[in-house]
Protein backbone atom coordinates (compact mmCIF):
# COMPACT_ATOMS: atom_id res chain seq x y z
CA UNK A 1 0.00 0.00 0.00
CA UNK A 2 1.17 3.55 -0.71
CA UNK A 3 1.34 5.26 2.69
CA UNK A 4 3.06 8.51 1.70
CA UNK A 5 0.97 11.25 0.12
CA UNK A 6 2.06 10.88 -3.49
CA UNK A 7 0.91 13.05 -6.39
CA UNK A 8 1.77 11.81 -9.87
CA UNK A 9 1.86 14.54 -12.52
CA UNK A 10 1.31 12.85 -15.88
CA UNK A 11 2.13 13.93 -19.42
CA UNK A 12 1.66 12.20 -22.76
CA UNK A 13 4.75 10.07 -22.24
CA UNK A 14 2.99 8.22 -19.43
CA UNK A 15 0.33 6.89 -21.83
CA UNK A 16 2.39 5.74 -24.81
CA UNK A 17 2.72 2.18 -23.46
CA UNK A 18 -1.08 1.92 -23.54
CA UNK A 19 -1.39 2.66 -27.25
CA UNK A 20 -1.80 6.43 -27.20
CA UNK A 21 0.09 8.74 -29.56
CA UNK A 22 2.66 11.29 -28.49
CA UNK A 23 2.27 14.93 -29.48
CA UNK A 24 4.70 14.33 -32.34
CA UNK A 25 2.62 11.35 -33.48
CA UNK A 26 -0.53 13.47 -33.65
CA UNK A 27 1.24 16.06 -35.77
CA UNK A 28 2.63 13.36 -38.07
CA UNK A 29 -0.84 11.89 -38.64
CA UNK A 30 -1.97 15.24 -40.04
CA UNK A 31 1.13 16.21 -41.99
CA UNK A 32 1.51 12.77 -43.60
CA UNK A 33 -2.12 12.67 -44.72
CA UNK A 34 -3.02 9.68 -42.51
CA UNK A 35 -6.44 10.85 -41.35
CA UNK A 36 -9.07 8.12 -41.95
CA UNK A 37 -12.04 8.72 -44.25
CA UNK A 38 -14.47 8.40 -41.35
CA UNK A 39 -12.81 11.34 -39.63
CA UNK A 40 -12.64 13.37 -42.84
CA UNK A 41 -16.38 12.85 -43.35
CA UNK A 42 -17.08 13.89 -39.77
CA UNK A 43 -14.97 17.03 -40.16
CA UNK A 44 -16.91 17.97 -43.27
CA UNK A 45 -20.26 17.25 -41.64
CA UNK A 46 -19.52 19.12 -38.42
CA UNK A 47 -17.16 21.89 -39.54
CA UNK A 48 -17.46 22.04 -43.34
CA UNK A 49 -13.75 21.24 -43.44
CA UNK A 50 -12.64 20.31 -46.95
CA UNK A 51 -9.58 18.41 -48.14
CA UNK A 52 -7.88 21.68 -49.03
CA UNK A 53 -8.50 22.98 -45.50
CA UNK A 54 -6.81 19.90 -44.04
CA UNK A 55 -3.92 20.41 -46.43
CA UNK A 56 -3.63 24.01 -45.27
CA UNK A 57 -3.46 22.77 -41.67
CA UNK A 58 -0.84 20.16 -42.61
CA UNK A 59 1.30 22.73 -44.43
CA UNK A 60 1.09 25.16 -41.51
CA UNK A 61 2.17 22.45 -39.06
CA UNK A 62 5.12 21.50 -41.25
CA UNK A 63 6.25 25.10 -41.54
CA UNK A 64 5.73 25.98 -37.86
CA UNK A 65 7.34 22.79 -36.47
CA UNK A 66 5.60 23.28 -33.09
CA UNK A 67 6.57 21.34 -29.93
CA UNK A 68 2.99 20.04 -29.67
CA UNK A 69 -0.24 20.25 -31.61
CA UNK A 70 -2.17 21.89 -28.79
CA UNK A 71 0.47 24.64 -28.55
CA UNK A 72 0.15 25.21 -32.31
CA UNK A 73 -3.65 25.30 -32.16
CA UNK A 74 -3.56 27.81 -29.32
CA UNK A 75 -1.78 30.21 -31.71
CA UNK A 76 -3.96 29.46 -34.76
CA UNK A 77 -7.59 29.92 -33.78
CA UNK A 78 -8.90 29.22 -37.28
CA UNK A 79 -7.68 25.63 -36.95
CA UNK A 80 -8.68 25.18 -33.29
CA UNK A 81 -12.09 23.52 -33.67
CA UNK A 82 -10.96 21.10 -36.37
CA UNK A 83 -7.73 20.42 -34.49
CA UNK A 84 -9.60 19.61 -31.28
CA UNK A 85 -11.87 17.25 -33.20
CA UNK A 86 -8.85 15.46 -34.72
CA UNK A 87 -7.29 15.06 -31.27
CA UNK A 88 -10.56 13.79 -29.79
CA UNK A 89 -11.11 11.29 -32.62
CA UNK A 90 -7.58 9.90 -32.49
CA UNK A 91 -7.62 9.51 -28.71
CA UNK A 92 -11.11 8.01 -28.53
CA UNK A 93 -10.16 5.39 -31.11
CA UNK A 94 -7.15 4.45 -28.98
CA UNK A 95 -9.20 4.02 -25.85
CA UNK A 96 -9.18 0.24 -26.22
CA UNK A 97 -9.60 -1.91 -23.10
CA UNK A 98 -7.40 -4.66 -24.55
CA UNK A 99 -4.51 -2.19 -24.69
CA UNK A 100 -4.78 -1.70 -20.94
CA UNK A 101 -4.31 -5.37 -20.17
CA UNK A 102 -1.90 -6.20 -23.00
CA UNK A 103 0.51 -3.31 -22.52
CA UNK A 104 4.20 -4.04 -22.87
CA UNK A 105 5.26 -5.26 -19.43
CA UNK A 106 8.54 -3.39 -19.90
CA UNK A 107 6.65 -0.10 -20.00
CA UNK A 108 3.55 -0.74 -17.89
CA UNK A 109 4.28 1.52 -14.94
CA UNK A 110 0.65 1.50 -13.81
CA UNK A 111 0.63 -2.29 -13.44
CA UNK A 112 3.69 -1.99 -11.18
CA UNK A 113 2.11 0.80 -9.12
CA UNK A 114 -1.16 -1.17 -8.91
CA UNK A 115 0.66 -4.10 -7.36
CA UNK A 116 1.96 -1.92 -4.54
CA UNK A 117 -1.39 -0.17 -4.07
CA UNK A 118 -3.11 -3.55 -3.82
CA UNK A 119 -0.72 -4.90 -1.18
CA UNK A 120 -2.53 -5.32 2.15
CA UNK A 121 -6.02 -4.90 0.69
CA UNK A 122 -8.32 -7.66 1.93
CA UNK A 123 -11.53 -5.90 0.83
CA UNK A 124 -12.17 -3.38 -1.90
CA UNK A 125 -12.67 -0.55 0.59
CA UNK A 126 -9.14 -1.12 1.91
CA UNK A 127 -7.87 0.24 -1.39
CA UNK A 128 -9.09 3.70 -0.38
CA UNK A 129 -6.32 3.84 2.23
CA UNK A 130 -3.78 4.44 -0.53
CA UNK A 131 -2.52 8.02 -0.40
CA UNK A 132 -2.19 8.42 -4.17
CA UNK A 133 -3.53 11.21 -6.38
CA UNK A 134 -3.03 12.02 -10.05
CA UNK A 135 -2.78 15.35 -11.84
CA UNK A 136 -2.89 14.67 -15.56
CA UNK A 137 -2.41 16.94 -18.56
CA UNK A 138 -3.77 14.17 -20.80
CA UNK A 139 -7.25 14.15 -22.27
CA UNK A 140 -7.74 10.38 -22.50
CA UNK A 141 -9.17 8.33 -19.61
CA UNK A 142 -6.92 5.24 -19.56
CA UNK A 143 -5.90 5.82 -15.95
CA UNK A 144 -9.38 5.75 -14.42
CA UNK A 145 -10.53 2.96 -16.75
CA UNK A 146 -7.54 0.79 -15.82
CA UNK A 147 -8.05 1.23 -12.09
CA UNK A 148 -11.75 0.40 -12.39
CA UNK A 149 -10.96 -2.62 -14.56
CA UNK A 150 -8.39 -4.01 -12.11
CA UNK A 151 -10.52 -3.35 -9.01
CA UNK A 152 -13.48 -5.08 -10.66
CA UNK A 153 -11.39 -8.09 -11.68
CA UNK A 154 -9.85 -8.41 -8.22
CA UNK A 155 -12.91 -7.93 -6.00
CA UNK A 156 -15.92 -8.91 -8.14
CA UNK A 157 -16.61 -12.02 -6.03
CA UNK A 158 -16.43 -10.22 -2.68
CA UNK A 159 -17.91 -6.78 -3.38
CA UNK A 160 -20.92 -5.30 -5.13
CA UNK A 161 -20.34 -3.60 -8.46
CA UNK A 162 -21.58 -0.29 -7.06
CA UNK A 163 -19.11 -0.47 -4.16
CA UNK A 164 -16.22 -1.16 -6.56
CA UNK A 165 -17.34 1.72 -8.74
CA UNK A 166 -17.55 4.00 -5.71
CA UNK A 167 -13.99 3.18 -4.62
CA UNK A 168 -12.65 3.73 -8.14
CA UNK A 169 -14.54 7.02 -8.53
CA UNK A 170 -13.09 8.32 -5.25
CA UNK A 171 -9.50 8.14 -6.52
CA UNK A 172 -8.36 11.72 -7.10
CA UNK A 173 -7.66 12.08 -10.84
CA UNK A 174 -7.58 15.70 -11.97
CA UNK A 175 -7.61 16.47 -15.71
CA UNK A 176 -6.36 20.05 -15.64
CA UNK A 177 -6.73 20.55 -19.43
CA UNK A 178 -10.09 18.83 -19.67
CA UNK A 179 -10.76 15.31 -20.88
CA UNK A 180 -12.73 13.32 -23.42
CA UNK A 181 -15.64 13.43 -21.02
CA UNK A 182 -16.74 11.94 -17.74
CA UNK A 183 -16.22 8.18 -17.95
CA UNK A 184 -19.58 6.41 -18.27
CA UNK A 185 -18.28 3.24 -16.63
CA UNK A 186 -17.61 5.21 -13.43
CA UNK A 187 -20.94 7.01 -13.37
CA UNK A 188 -24.09 6.06 -11.48
CA UNK A 189 -26.44 4.11 -13.78
CA UNK A 190 -28.99 6.94 -13.78
CA UNK A 191 -26.43 9.43 -15.15
CA UNK A 192 -24.32 7.14 -17.36
CA UNK A 193 -26.20 8.18 -20.50
CA UNK A 194 -24.87 11.71 -20.04
CA UNK A 195 -21.28 10.48 -19.93
CA UNK A 196 -18.85 9.17 -22.55
CA UNK A 197 -17.98 5.44 -22.52
CA UNK A 198 -14.38 4.39 -22.86
CA UNK A 199 -13.66 4.46 -26.58
CA UNK A 200 -16.50 6.91 -27.21
CA UNK A 201 -18.97 4.53 -28.86
CA UNK A 202 -21.93 6.60 -30.02
CA UNK A 203 -20.43 9.85 -28.78
CA UNK A 204 -20.91 13.17 -30.56
CA UNK A 205 -17.38 14.06 -31.68
CA UNK A 206 -17.97 17.80 -31.65
CA UNK A 207 -19.36 17.64 -28.08
CA UNK A 208 -16.33 15.65 -26.92
CA UNK A 209 -13.93 18.01 -28.70
CA UNK A 210 -15.39 21.03 -26.89
CA UNK A 211 -14.24 19.56 -23.57
CA UNK A 212 -10.59 19.73 -24.65
CA UNK A 213 -8.76 22.84 -23.42
CA UNK A 214 -5.73 24.05 -25.34
CA UNK A 215 -2.74 25.81 -23.81
CA UNK A 216 -3.85 29.32 -22.96
CA UNK A 217 -7.58 28.51 -23.10
CA UNK A 218 -7.99 27.09 -19.63
CA UNK A 219 -8.85 29.19 -16.61
CA UNK A 220 -5.80 29.23 -14.33
CA UNK A 221 -8.17 29.65 -11.39
CA UNK A 222 -10.42 26.78 -12.47
CA UNK A 223 -11.61 24.21 -9.96
CA UNK A 224 -9.34 21.59 -11.51
CA UNK A 225 -6.16 23.67 -11.30
CA UNK A 226 -7.04 24.79 -7.77
CA UNK A 227 -7.51 21.18 -6.68
CA UNK A 228 -4.25 20.16 -8.38
CA UNK A 229 -2.31 22.84 -6.50
CA UNK A 230 -3.87 21.83 -3.19
CA UNK A 231 -2.87 18.21 -3.76
CA UNK A 232 0.68 19.25 -4.65
CA UNK A 233 0.96 21.48 -1.58
CA UNK A 234 0.03 18.58 0.71
CA UNK A 235 2.17 15.92 -1.00
CA UNK A 236 5.10 14.12 0.54
CA UNK A 237 6.23 13.07 -2.93
CA UNK A 238 5.58 14.80 -6.27
CA UNK A 239 6.36 12.46 -9.15
CA UNK A 240 6.44 13.67 -12.78
CA UNK A 241 5.95 10.83 -15.26
CA UNK A 242 6.18 11.37 -19.03
CA UNK A 243 5.76 15.11 -18.52
CA UNK A 244 7.08 17.54 -21.13
CA UNK A 245 7.75 20.49 -18.78
CA UNK A 246 6.29 23.10 -21.15
CA UNK A 247 6.97 26.44 -19.45
CA UNK A 248 3.30 27.48 -19.26
CA UNK A 249 2.19 24.11 -17.91
CA UNK A 250 4.83 24.28 -15.16
CA UNK A 251 3.88 27.87 -14.31
CA UNK A 252 0.19 26.98 -14.02
CA UNK A 253 1.02 24.48 -11.30
CA UNK A 254 2.40 27.44 -9.25
CA UNK A 255 5.49 25.55 -8.03
CA UNK A 256 6.56 28.53 -5.91
CA UNK A 257 3.77 27.54 -3.50
CA UNK A 258 4.98 23.97 -2.94
CA UNK A 259 8.33 23.26 -4.57
CA UNK A 260 10.59 24.89 -1.99
CA UNK A 261 9.71 22.57 0.93
CA UNK A 262 12.94 20.68 1.66
CA UNK A 263 10.97 17.79 3.17
CA UNK A 264 9.07 17.15 -0.06
CA UNK A 265 10.60 14.67 -2.48
CA UNK A 266 10.43 15.73 -6.17
CA UNK A 267 11.14 13.09 -8.82
CA UNK A 268 10.93 13.51 -12.59
CA UNK A 269 11.44 11.27 -15.59
CA UNK A 270 13.18 13.04 -18.46
CA UNK A 271 13.91 10.10 -20.71
CA UNK A 272 15.61 11.02 -23.98
CA UNK A 273 16.63 14.50 -22.83
CA UNK A 274 20.22 15.70 -22.81
CA UNK A 275 21.70 17.09 -19.62
CA UNK A 276 21.31 20.58 -21.05
CA UNK A 277 17.62 20.01 -21.76
CA UNK A 278 17.14 18.59 -18.29
CA UNK A 279 18.71 21.72 -16.80
CA UNK A 280 16.32 23.88 -18.80
CA UNK A 281 13.33 21.93 -17.46
CA UNK A 282 14.60 22.06 -13.90
CA UNK A 283 15.23 25.79 -14.30
CA UNK A 284 11.47 26.34 -14.69
CA UNK A 285 11.10 25.57 -10.99
CA UNK A 286 12.21 27.93 -8.20
CA UNK A 287 15.47 27.31 -6.34
CA UNK A 288 15.01 25.02 -3.38
CA UNK A 289 16.62 25.43 0.02
CA UNK A 290 16.74 21.66 0.42
CA UNK A 291 17.55 18.79 -1.91
CA UNK A 292 16.98 19.32 -5.61
CA UNK A 293 14.67 17.53 -8.01
CA UNK A 294 15.70 13.93 -8.63
CA UNK A 295 15.91 13.53 -12.40
CA UNK A 296 15.77 10.12 -14.04
CA UNK A 297 16.80 9.46 -17.64
CA UNK A 298 14.97 6.13 -17.63
CA UNK A 299 11.42 5.01 -18.39
CA UNK A 300 8.44 5.63 -16.12
CA UNK A 301 8.50 2.00 -14.99
CA UNK A 302 12.23 1.87 -14.31
CA UNK A 303 12.07 5.16 -12.42
CA UNK A 304 9.25 3.83 -10.22
CA UNK A 305 11.23 0.69 -9.51
CA UNK A 306 14.20 2.85 -8.48
CA UNK A 307 12.20 5.09 -6.13
CA UNK A 308 9.39 2.84 -4.88
CA UNK A 309 10.88 2.88 -1.36
CA UNK A 310 10.16 6.61 -1.18
CA UNK A 311 6.42 5.99 -1.68
CA UNK A 312 5.83 3.27 0.92
Task: Please tell me the distance from the alpha carbon of residue 169 to that of residue 185, in angstroms, as a whole number.
Answer: 10
Top mean-pLDDT range of 235-239, 256-260, 262-266: 235-239
What mean pLDDT is reported for the chain?
A: 93
Q: Are 124 and 162 in contact (CB under 8 A)?
A: no
Domain ranges of the chain: 1-18+103-178+213-312, 23-92
Task: Please tell me the distance from the alpha carbon of residue 269 to that of residue 239, in angstroms, as a whole number.
Answer: 8
Q: Which pLDDT value is given to residue 217?
A: 75
The CATH architecture one would assign to domain 1-18+103-178+213-312 is: 3-Layer(aba) Sandwich (3.40)
Angle between helices 51-64 and 80-92 (to 10 degrees): 90
pLDDT band at 296 (very low <50, low <70, confident <90, very high): very high
Task: Please tell me the distance from the alpha carbon of residue 167 to that of residue 157, in angstroms, as a whole number.
Answer: 15
Q: Are 96 and 15 in contact (CB under 8 A)?
A: no
Tallying the residues shown for the chain, one arrives at 312
Pairing, β 132-136 against β 6-10: parallel
Q: Which pLDDT value is given to residue 222?
A: 82
How confident is the model over 115-166, as pLDDT tens digits?
999 999 999 999 999 999 999 999 999 999 999 999 999 999 999 999 999 9
pLDDT band at 218 (very low <50, low <70, confident <90, very high): low
pTM for this model (two decimals)? 0.94
Q: Which pLDDT value is given to residue 290?
A: 56
How confident is the model over 65-110, as pLDDT tens digits?
998 898 899 999 999 999 999 999 999 999 999 999 987 767 899 9
| Alpha-carbon separation of residue 54 from 28, 47, 85, 108, 193 (angstroms) | 13, 11, 12, 35, 33
- With 90 as the cut, is the pLDDT of residue 261 above it? no
Amino acid sequence: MITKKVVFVLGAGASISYGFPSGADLISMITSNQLPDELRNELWHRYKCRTENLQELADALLEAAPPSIDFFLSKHKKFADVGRAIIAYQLLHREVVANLTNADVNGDWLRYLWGHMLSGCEQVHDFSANQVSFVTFNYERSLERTLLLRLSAMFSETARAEDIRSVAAAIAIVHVHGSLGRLAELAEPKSADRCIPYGGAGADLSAVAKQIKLIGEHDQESQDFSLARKLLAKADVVYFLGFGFHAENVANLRPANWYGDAERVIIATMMGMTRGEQRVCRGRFPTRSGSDMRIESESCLQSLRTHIHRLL
